[in-house]
Amino acid sequence: MVMDAAILSLLFLFLLLLLGRGLSLVAAGSNQNLTVGSSLSSSGPNSSLSSPSGDFAFGFWPLDTNSSLFLLAVPTKSTLQLTQAGQLSLFDSNGQEVWSPDATNAIGVSLLDSGNLVLYDSSGALLWQSFQNPTDTILPGQSLGERSELRSKMADTDFSFGRFMLAVQDDGNLALYPVAIPTGSEYYAYWASNTQNATKLQLVFNSSGSLYYQVENGNQIPLMTLATVYSPTNFYQHATLDPDGALRLYTYPKNNNNSKSTDTWAVVGMLPINPCLTIQTDGGGGACGLNAYCNSDDDQSKQLDCKCVSGCKFVDTNRPYLGCTPNFTVQSCDEYQSSQYTFNEILNMDWPEDSYEYYAPTDEDTCRASCLADCFCSVAVFQGSKCSKKKMPLLNGRQGISVGGNALIKVPQTNASFLPHGSQNSITMVKKDRSTLILIISALLGSSGFLNMLFIIAMAIISFSICNRTKDKKNQIDPTILGKNVQTEAATEEAAVLAYWAHDCFRNGRLDLLVDGDEEAMIDVTRVERFVTVAIWCILEEPSLRPSMRKVAQMLEGAVAVPVPPDPSSYISSIV
């Protein structure tokens, strides 16, 4: 009979080191072995077996989330019995067999001091053993031969098959793989021993506390060695492939008399060292699943703290590694309108190898505008002088100082969100903007009176947009104003009309009208054109198209080219 993940959990995960609750399990009723005709019951006096040393127990373990269910979702009044035919069988409360190993004619079941659960015949030969049928964990004294594997569980409280696998392959490699759910298909390996064509393969966790990969001629490739510090004589040990795809080596002191310590296992080794950066898949979403990300700067000895991309939510909060789904309607190219979208920005974030279009060299404003105008683009990442555009669902999300990049996540205007007030990122941005504003003011000193007035208007708008990037469209300019000719507009002192008048002059090639009577400005019309062009960019209706303060300073100084701005048909509403 084929064993599923839940049944395998019974055969191994119940081999519990007797810490905390494990002690009470044995005390409540345990035997040294199971003989023909005897049984264990989830509701009876005999609910477990214990090893001779008392270090291990095997039996029914109630779920923390539902005390009426046990691991494997076996209900109360289930029974594990060694039948008269010498077959170990698990029966549910209705008497239906739900699992049995491929072994008959057994006369007994015992739990050894190594933690190995064995079925044996009258000659003492082993018919079946849990060490050859592992789930996600390997113990000292246990080895895995060719074509063996460890498979992670889905989550700490979900014992179904998870998304990662450690395989002893017949091509000579030991490899870690992401796995598709529920098919079990393997994606590309994210770690491998690179021992192709080796033979006589074994993953060994020896009784001295060393975990290594042994190949032909007895050659050993060390993975994690603890013998000198954490001897099995003084420490319990186990290596587990955790739900986040990392193989971690755990220890716990056997004589824990230190009142300052807690009943938790310490991580003393792991593979790979930084799973957030290492686990990169060609499918399945990476370490945290689709539309989710981890932080490479977090303590990697702990399981990854996966988070959803801005605007998304977990598919299942109890199973975070399944990834996230958008809580808004994902954009479509049917009747797409860029004005309905804006960007949420997250620093030091990227989704490597997940781009459908790439630009270099470019600047952040061009990157932003390109994604906003593209109905396929869900996210743009700008880093250095490079821009990459990505579609949903997003794969291999990660954040961290070493990752770099500024992620621009496109969301509907109503879903826009921003950094919490007082966060470190927002404080840093304010300091940067203040420094840049000083540069802009310096550029204005000595300029003509007209240009100063024009840029005071533009800078006020930019300062407002930094504090609040959402738009208030309640107040609109009377559309009849837009019909006035250039000469009439020149006479008004209203800021909105001045801005529109300046744009009309720019569009019609009549910048001389802007500086009429200003001798200083008339001397350098090229400079006037650059200043006016930058000002028009600064007062665009769509906030996400406006250049950053740093970019404004660079354009004013002539350090970068000033592109021709789009024709803002309704940008006046942003300054009234």
Asked whether the predicted pLDDT for residue 444 surpasses 90, the reply is no
pLDDT, tens digit, 9 for 90 and up, residues 138-155: 999 999 999 999 999 998
499, 534: one domain: yes
Question: Which of 62-66, 96-100, 379-383, 435-439: highest mean pLDDT?
Answer: 379-383
pLDDT, tens digit, 9 for 90 and up, residues 211-247: 999 988 778 899 987 656 787 788 889 999 999 999 9
Total domains in the fold of the chain: 3
154, 246: one domain: yes
Domain for residue 217, yes or no? yes
Distance CA 352, CA 346 (A): 15
536, 435: one domain: yes
Distance CA 160, CA 419 (A): 37
Q: Give pLDDT, residue 227.
A: 57
Domain-terminating residue out of 273, 295, 313: 273
4, 103: one domain: yes
Q: Give pLDDT, residue 92.
A: 84
Q: Where does the pLDDT of residue 569 fall: very low under 50, low under 70, confident under 90, or very high at 90 and above?
A: very low
Please provide the distance, in angstroms rounded to a whole number, between the alpha carbons at the two ends of the chain.
Answer: 75
pLDDT, tens digit, 9 for 90 and up, residues 269-328: 999 999 999 998 877 788 899 999 999 999 988 899 999 998 899 999 888 888 999 988
CB atoms within 10 A of CB 223: 20
Do the Cβ atoms of 214 and 220 come closer than 8 Å?
A: yes
Torsional sign, CA 420, 572, 433, 372: positive
Q: Give pLDDT, residue 218.
A: 76
Domain for residue 569, yes or no? yes
Percent of the chain predicted with pLDDT > 70:
70
Asked whether the predicted pLDDT for residue 438 surpasses 50, the reply is no
Q: Give pLDDT, residue 54.
A: 85
145, 222: one domain: yes
CATH for 197: 2.90.10.10
Q: Which residue has the tokens 């006369």?
A: 107
pLDDT, tens digit, 9 for 90 and up, residues 80-90: 899 999 999 98
pLDDT, tens digit, 9 for 90 and up, residues 163-185: 999 999 988 999 999 998 888 88
What average pLDDT does this structure show over 155-160?
Answer: 85
Instruction: Name the residue range of residue 451's domain.
Output: 429-574
186, 119: one domain: no
CA angle at 276 for the pair 377 and 307, rounded to the nearest 5°: 60
Higher-confidence residue of 424 and 351: namely: 351
Among 52-56, 131-135, 289-293, 543-547, the least confident range: 543-547
Q: Give pLDDT, residue 162.
A: 92
14, 79: one domain: yes
CA angle at 142 for the pair 140 and 148, rounded to the nearest 5°: 140
Q: Give pLDDT, residue 319.
A: 86
221, 152: one domain: yes
Asked whether the predicted pLDDT for residue 437 surpasses 80, the reply is no
Beta bridge partners of 253: 235
Distance CA 291, CA 488 (A): 53
- Backbone angle region of 338, left / alpha / beta, with phi > 0 → left and psi within -120 to 50 → alpha: alpha
475, 540: one domain: yes
Asked whether the predicted pLDDT for residue 526 surpasses 90, the reply is no
Asked whether the predicted pLDDT for residue 450 surpasses 70, the reply is no
- Say what the pTM is: 0.68
Q: Give pLDDT, residue 246.
A: 95
What average pLDDT does this structure show over 457-486?
Answer: 42
Q: Give pLDDT, residue 510.
A: 73
Domain for residue 321, yes or no? no
Q: Residue 534 in 3-state DSSP? A: helix
Q: Where does the pLDDT of residue 209 fall: very low under 50, low under 70, confident under 90, or very high at 90 and above?
A: confident
Q: Where does the pLDDT of residue 522 fall: very low under 50, low under 70, confident under 90, or very high at 90 and above?
A: low
Q: Which residue has the tokens 């700008």?
A: 382
Domain for residue 194, yes or no? yes
128, 20: one domain: yes
CB atoms within 10 A of CB 330: 13
Domain for residue 211, yes or no? yes
522: CB partners within 8 A, 6+ apart:
512, 515, 516
Q: What string of H, E and C letters represents the secondary structure of 411-434? A: EEHHHCCCCCCCCHHHHHHHHHHH
Distance of CA 430 to the CA centre of its chain: 28
Q: Where does the pLDDT of residue 75 fall: very low under 50, low under 70, confident under 90, or very high at 90 and above?
A: low
Domain for residue 303, yes or no? no
Domain-terminating residue out of 273, 291, 311: 273
Domain for residue 316, yes or no? no
Q: What string of H, E and C letters represents the secondary structure of 444-507? A: HCCCCHHHHHHHHHHHHHHHHHHHCCCCCCCCCCCHHHHHCCHHHHHHCCCHHHHHHHHHHHHH
Q: Which residue has the tokens 């933690």?
A: 115
141, 95: one domain: no
Domain for residue 125, yes or no? yes
Q: In this structure, which amino acid lies at residue 296?
A: S
164, 269: one domain: yes
Q: Give pLDDT, residue 518.
A: 66
Domain-terminating residue out of 95, 113, 132: 132
